[in-house]
C-alpha cells in the first residue's frame, strides 16, 4: 500500500472517529448539539491541517472531501449524525465545508504556499467557534440576521482572533516586514469578520475562507506584497 493511500485511510478513520465521539457525547453524555457541532467544527479544521503534510495528490483530498460530503448528505436525508444536524436553525455549513477544503488545497498547490491553505482553514476552525462562544457568554450588542441572532461582542472576538492568527501565520510563512504583516492581517481579519457577521444558514463556511483566500490572491497577483 502506498503511503498516500495509507495516509488517506488514516485521515478518513480520524474523521469517522471524531464523528463517533461527538455522537457519544450527544447521545450518552447529553451534550447539546450546538456544543458537539462546535467540537466537530474545530476537530475537522485541525485534522484538515494535516492534508498538505500527509497528502501530495489533490485527488486524495477530493476523495476524502467527496466521501464525507456524501456521508453528510445521507445523514441529513435519513436523520443521522444528530450531534451535527440536530440544531434549531437551518444550516448548510457542514455540506459546504468539504467543497471549500478542496478549493483551498488546489490554491495551496497552485501557488506552492502553505499560507493559502492554512490561514483560511485556521480562521474558520478557530475564529468562528470563538465568536459563537463569546457571543453566547456575553450577549452584548445583539442583532438579527434572517432567523439568526448574532452579537457585536462575538464579531469583535472573531476579528481579534482572526488578526492574531493572521499575524502569526504571516510571520511563519512569509518574509514580510511587520508593517506589511499588519496591513495584510488587518484586511483579512476585517473582511472575514464582516462576512461572518453578514452570513447565515452556515454560508460563513464558504465566505470566511474564500474571502481570506481572495485577499491573499489579490495581494500576490498584483504584487502588492510578496507572499511567496
pLDDT digits (tens, 9 = 90+) for 10-22: 999 999 999 999 9
pLDDT digits (tens, 9 = 90+) for 112-163: 999 999 999 999 999 988 998 898 888 888 888 777 788 999 999 999 999 9
For β-strands 148-151 and 142-145, DSSP reports them as antiparallel
Confidence band of 90 (pLDDT split at 50, 70, 90): low
CA-based nearest residue to 176, from 188, 187, 186, 167 = 167
Report how far apart the first and last C-alpha atoms of the chain are (Å, whole number). 34
Q: Where are the domains of the chain?
A: 3-221
Q: What is the pTM of this model?
A: 0.91
Ordered alpha helix ranges (H), the chain: 3-27, 33-48, 51-54, 58-77, 82-85, 93-111, 115-122, 128-137, 152-173, 178-198, 204-221
C-alpha–C-alpha distance, residues 93 and 206, integer Å = 8
- CA 209, distance to chain mean position in Å, is 7
Torsion of CA 93, 134, 50, 117, to 10 degrees: 70
CA-based nearest residue to 116, from 218, 31, 33 = 218
CA-based nearest residue to 214, from 196, 186, 192 = 192
Amino acid at each position: 500500500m502506498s503511503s498516500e493511500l495509507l495516509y488517506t485511510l488514516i485521515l478518513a478513520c480520524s474523521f469517522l472517529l471524531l464523528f463517533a465521539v461527538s455522537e457519544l457525547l450527544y447521545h450518552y453524555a447529553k451534550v447539546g448539539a450546538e456544543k458537539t457541532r462546535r467540537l466537530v467544527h474545530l476537530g475537522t479544521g485541525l485534522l484538515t491541517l494535516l492534508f498538505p503534510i500527509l497528502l501530495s495528490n489533490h485527488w486524495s483530498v477530493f476523495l476524502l472531501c467527496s466521501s464525507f460530503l456524501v456521508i453528510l448528505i445521507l445523514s441529513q436525508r435519513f436523520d443521522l449524525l444528530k450531534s451535527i444536524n440536530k440544531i434549531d436553525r437551518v444550516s448548510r455549513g457542514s455540506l459546504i465545508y468539504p467543497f471549500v477544503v478542496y478549493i483551498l488545497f488546489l490554491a495551496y498547490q497552485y501557488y506552492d504556499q502553505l499560507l493559502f491553505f492554512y490561514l483560511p482553514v485556521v480562521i474558520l476552525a478557530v475564529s468562528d467557534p470563538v465568536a459563537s462562544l463569546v457571543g453566547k457568554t456575553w450577549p452584548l450588542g445583539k442583532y438579527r440576521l434572517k432567523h439568526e441572532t448574532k452579537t457585536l461582542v462575538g464579531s469583535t472576538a472573531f476579528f481579534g482572533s482572526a488578526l492574531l492568527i493572521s499575524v502569526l501565520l504571516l510571520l511563519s510563512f512569509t518574509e514580510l516586514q511587520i508593517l506589511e504583516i499588519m496591513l495584510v492581517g488587518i484586511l483579512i481579519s476585517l473582511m472575514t469578520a464582516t462576512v461572518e457577521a453578514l452570513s447565515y444558514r452556515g454560508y460563513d463556511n464558504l465566505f470566511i475562507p474564500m474571502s481570506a483566500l481572495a485577499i491573499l490572491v489579490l495581494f500576490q497577483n498584483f504584487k502588492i506584497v510578496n507572499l511567496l
